[in-house]
């Protein structure tokens, strides 16, 4: 029963953070529509899934911290999972930078690509996987 309550409280906490995050997401979206400044909304939509992924790993990490073992670092997992998901999550940033600061920005394909990659479930899932992976590469 103690283990059930431990995980249940974590689920409630993570759910509450998701609830607050979605409200903040909607307020940033409306501010972006009013001011035509999407930078804060854009950054938040990329970072928030990573934070959620980290929160999903946090209950197990807290249990690992309580153990008195030597810490290790899983380089293979970082390179196999962390690197591709990092590039998927940051691809809208690279597209935005190319679109804004190079001569390629005049072509409409980059604006379409930015719209496609910035707020998709694929980018969100990659962000959650990246956040989980960032804490999962630390082992005891």
Q: What is the pLDDT of residue 115?
A: 62
Return d(Cα 85, Cα 125) in angstroms, integer: 9
Return d(Cα 103, Cα 17) in angstroms, integer: 41
Q: What is the pLDDT of residue 53?
A: 94
For 45, the enclosing helix (H) or strand (E) is: helix 39-66
Q: Do residues 136 and 57 touch, judged by C-beta distance below 8 A?
A: yes
Q: What is the pLDDT of residue 61?
A: 86
Q: What is the pTM of this model?
A: 0.81
Q: What is the pLDDT of residue 67?
A: 82
% the chain with pLDDT above 70 = 87
For 72, the enclosing helix (H) or strand (E) is: strand 72-73
Return d(Cα 82, Cα 88) in angstroms, integer: 10
Each domain of the chain, given as residue ranges in start order, spans 2-139
Under-50 pLDDT residues of the chain: none
Q: Do residues 138 and 61 touch, judged by C-beta distance below 8 A?
A: yes
């Amino acid at each position: 029963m103690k283990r059930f309550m431990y995980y249940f409280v974590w689920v409630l906490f993570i759910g509450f953070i998701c609830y607050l995050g979605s409200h903040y997401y909607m307020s940033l979206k409306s501010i972006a529509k009013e001011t035509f400044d999407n930078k804060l909304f854009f950054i938040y939509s990329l970072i928030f899934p990573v934070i959620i992924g980290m929160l999903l790993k946090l209950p197990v990490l807290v249990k690992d911290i309580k153990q008195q073992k030597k810490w290790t670092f899983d380089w293979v997992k970082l390179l196999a999972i962390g690197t591709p998901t990092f590039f998927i999550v940051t691809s809208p940033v690279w597209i935005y930078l190319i679109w804004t600061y190079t001569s390629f920005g005049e072509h409409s394909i980059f604006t379409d690509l930015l719209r496609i990659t910035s707020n998709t479930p694929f980018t969100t899932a990659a962000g959650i996987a990246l956040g989980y992976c960032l804490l999962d590469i630390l082992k005891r």
